[in-house]
Amino acid sequence: MRDTLSSLGLEATNPGAFGKGVVTSAGPTLISSSPIDGAELGRIVCADVAAYEQVVADAHEVFLEWRKVPAPERGNLVRKIGNALRDSKHSLGKLVSLEMGKILPEGEGEVQEAIDIADFAVGLSRQLYGKSMHSERRHHRMYEQWHPLGVIGVITAFNFPAAVWAWNSMIAAVCGDTVVWKPSELTPLTAVAINSICRSVAKETGFEGVFSLVVGDGPDLGKRIASDRRVPCVSATGSCRMGREVAKAVGDRLGRSILELGGNNAVIVMDDADMELVMPGVLFGAVGTAGQRCTTIRRALVHEKIYDTFVERMTGAYRQIKIGNPLEKGVLMGPLVSQTAVEAYKAAIGRVAKEGGSILYGGNVVSGLASPLYVEPTIVRAHGAMELVKEETFAPILYVIPFKGVDEAIALNNGVPQGLSSAIFTRNITIAERFLSAAGSDCGIANVNIGTSGAEIGGAFGGEKDTGGGRESGSDSWKQYMRRQTTTINYGDDAPLAQGVVFG
Ligand code: NAD
């Protein structure tokens, strides 16, 4: 563990406030400990209010210069950051696993996602295209151009402590913005390590202040970002509760917010589904990251004709899942992130029978492991009217709900407040297309014959309804990090007005 930490330049105690330089901070000291065994990983001196003020002022000052650097040159810095992340992929991936408990291949996969989005952003730096339009007025030209926006506040959740920062920061940097990152209080060391990699690369260009960081021991600095007029755009990832508060604060000052909030994702398994596709898709989707992905499969909506077969095969597969130290080979499920998460798991399990469901597999905290944070992946026989299945419990609980026909299945899929990811397993193209149609899934992501999680960076990522409506990562998500300017140029000798208006 010590080797991993020192290879990433982490000390026993680390500063948690970085603007153009290290910002002196007298905030509380936050201890980062591993959910794997409770061991202390390191300490971080949090940003106090004065440090926060300085970091945001610095980020704004750096923005005033960074916005003038040609976008492809900005892309060049992001390319170097992507390469530095490549060099540290293993150590960073291991730190992600140590700090939040996901298995090593997923920790490394998360860093790979950060590398991928850096590559994407490099290409994007030469493609920040605006449209040109035909003016209705003679000898006039119209076009749209995209300018850098300013300081972007990035508030991140514990479960993707590297990738979500990268989705925002790599894109924001090529767009000419600077970033102030407020990471989760549960994963501050990963943030310190990533920030120091970025800063050491960016230092060569004199622009290390493009990437800044304020670590806090709770949500307070996030609240400050949300109401800070110097931050024109706030990208916030986390619970729906947090998103509501951020949306209100940013909306109050008419700022822009990108909200990536909770999910409650379902897969529909039709009676013609290929079980060889269903099994790995649902298993990874429901159990991966110990059920702590925003895109985790929480509800399996299964055609009544194959309900029993599905349950039998799934419980058989669950029996083989090895729970334990996520750094060990063969382990598929590590611990939950905190005792609070374990309590939420227990509370949900406690409601199952009261709401008319029954536990088919699991339902217990695992004893005898290195910390009290390991739980059994759980399968519940459930029905669509249960209140429990409408909520997101951030733990590996899969509610298996029967249905009779595709219309009922789509209604169940849509019958929850959240709208992040969804999927259908079928070989019937008509049914698949119905699921994907305007009257089908109401989610931001709708897949066919793959699960709900493990999105690629090339597509815009996000969801509807209580998931917040934000889109990050690929496609044209970059537009949110820039301001649009519509320009009309008159190269003639007359001054015609639009709509043919004659004035005077
Ligand atoms: P959380 O809401 O507890 O915290 C997320 C971040 O918000 C933290 O940095 C926290 O300090 C900050 N925060 C909390 N309250 C705040 C407030 N009032 N103002 C400003 N900042 C505040 O979430 P979590 O437990 O870290 O993460 C799990 C949640 O995140 C789940 O609901 C999951 O679905 C969601 N999530 C969504 C996506 C997505 O892309 N849709 C991705 C990852 C996680």
Atom from ligand 1 closest to the CA of residue 183: 9
Stretch 219-225: mean pLDDT: 98
Stretch 39-61: mean pLDDT: 97
Stretch 363-374: mean pLDDT: 98
Stretch 460-468: mean pLDDT: 98
Stretch 41-61: mean pLDDT: 97
Strand pairing of 233-237 and 256-260?
A: parallel
Q: What are phi and psi of 202, to 5 degrees?
A: -70, -20
Q: Is the dihedral of CA 432, 435, 437, 442 positive or negative?
A: negative
In the predicted structure, residue 25 carries a pLDDT above the cut 90: no
Closest CA to 462 of 269, 266, 235: 235
Question: What is the pLDDT, as a whole number, of residue 504?
Answer: 84
Longest dimension (CA), the chain: 88
Superfamily grouping for domain 2-261+468-485: Aldehyde Dehydrogenase; Chain A, domain 1 (3.40.605.10)
Q: List, in sequence order, every residue forming a beta bridge with 361; answer none if it has no partner.
A: 379
Q: What are phi and psi of 289, to 5 degrees?
A: 55, 30
Asked about 260 being catalytic, the answer comes back as yes
How far does residue 280's CA lie from ligand 1's centre (Å)?
28
Stretch 57-76: mean pLDDT: 98
Question: What is the pLDDT, as a whole number, of residue 229?
Answer: 98
How far does residue 382's CA lie from ligand 1's centre (Å)?
27
Stretch 429-445: mean pLDDT: 98
**Band of the pLDDT at 428, cuts 50, 70, 90?**
very high
**Band of the pLDDT at 26, cuts 50, 70, 90?**
confident
In the predicted structure, residue 2 carries a pLDDT above the cut 90: no
CA distances to 126, 162, 308, 310, 403 from 305, in Å: 53, 42, 8, 10, 9
Who lines ligand 1 at CB under 6 A? 155-160, 164, 182, 184-185, 219, 222-223, 226, 237-239, 242, 245-246, 260-263, 294, 392, 394, 420, 463, 467
How far does residue 467's CA lie from ligand 1's centre (Å)?
11
How many other β-carbons are positioned within 10 Å of the β-carbon of residue 138? 10
How far does residue 130's CA lie from ligand 1's centre (Å)?
33
pTM over 0.85: yes
Question: What is the pLDDT, as a whole number, of residue 117?
Answer: 98
Instruction: Outline where 67-141 has alpha helix (H).
Output: 71-87, 89-100, 104-124
Q: In testing the pocket of ligand 1, which one of 156, 159, 223 has its CB within 8 Å of the most ligand atoms?
A: 159
Atom from ligand 1 closest to the CA of residue 155: 9
Distance CA 103, CA 66 (A): 38
- Among residues 46, 198, 240, 294, which one is catalytic? 294
Stretch 234-239: mean pLDDT: 98
**Band of the pLDDT at 232, cuts 50, 70, 90?**
very high
Structure confidence by residue, pLDDT tens digits, 281-337? 999 999 999 999 999 999 999 999 999 999 999 999 999 999 999 999 999 999 999
**Band of the pLDDT at 431, cuts 50, 70, 90?**
very high
Strand pairing of 297-303 and 397-403?
A: parallel
- Among residues 260, 376, 392, 472, which one is catalytic? 260
Provide the 8-state DSSP code for 366.
P
**Band of the pLDDT at 248, cuts 50, 70, 90?**
very high
Q: What residue spans in the chain does CATH classification 3.40.605.10 cover?
A: 2-261+468-485
**Band of the pLDDT at 454, cuts 50, 70, 90?**
confident
Asked about 294 being catalytic, the answer comes back as yes
Structure confidence by residue, pLDDT tens digits, 164-192? 999 999 999 999 999 999 999 999 999 99
Token pair 């390590």 in the structure block, residue = 193
Q: Whose CA is nearest to atom 42 of ligand 1?
A: 294
- The CATH code of the domain at 265-448 is 3.40.309.10
Q: What residue spans in the chain does CATH classification 3.40.309.10 cover?
A: 265-448
Question: What is the pLDDT, as a whole number, of residue 308?
Answer: 98
Give the pair of three-digit tokens for residue 274: 């290929």
Give the pair of three-digit tokens for residue 420: 């992040």
**C-alpha 81, offset from chain centre:** 20
